[in-house]
Structure 1
Amino acid sequence: MLNFERVKQSHEDPKKRIKSFEIEPVKEYTDNEAYAEASRCIGCNICTQACPASLDIGGYIRSTAVGDPAQTVRIVFETLPFPAIIGRVCTHLCEDICVLYDEGGPIAIRHIKRYAADKFSDYGKIISV
């Protein structure tokens, strides 16, 4: 059965964050959280219409759902050369038109991108340039 509730992300303690620029406020998804969140996608791909970069959002959400973050990074990298940065600064307009917006919340598209990008310290090992 499809779960419509968005997988909530943990946040770092503000008392820790206030003392460091190295601590990100929103914690990265775990593997299971990322797979669960990506699995909520119904595959309509309407989100791609709102993406200013025209990323294949449906493609990288599907690859994350089946446990292939390397493929997710490859898909993002085809259009944008900095997946980890985009996973943090993207304005995620795609989430605003997600058909699940009113049904448990939109797919966490930006955070899934960040999750996949952060799995690899050297993109050269997974991307042929």
Structure 2
Amino acid sequence: MSLAQRVLLTWLFTLLFLIILVLKLDETLAWSWFLVFIPLWIFDAVLLVMLAVRLAGRCKAGYDRHSGHVRRKVWYLCATLLKLAFLLALCARLERLAALRLSWILAPLWVLLCGVVGDLGYSTFAVRA
């Protein structure tokens, strides 16, 4: 998938999510919160499939499995799973399926944000040989 296609796909799913979110908050739609977040679930599913295919391709013979590329792909996979955990906890709280405290709902998001800051710092200040 080219960069232009990825950008277009991201904008499309974000726009669709925002439209559905506004309709839900305006009480025009009586959908479940899990249905409101469907564009994000689909986007994350596509992202997870792309990451899994790329990681599986790196595991073939002839590739350097100990390079930084594999670590970065694993980090992307972990970040996507943390985002999914946050969205699932948020939807469960909004639907009143679970009486989760706000700190438990936001914990995956905070871990994700700390990881992003750490990754940014590492990629910015890493000494290149």
Q: TM-score, normalised by structure 1?
A: 0.30
Q: Which has the larger radius of gyration?
A: 2
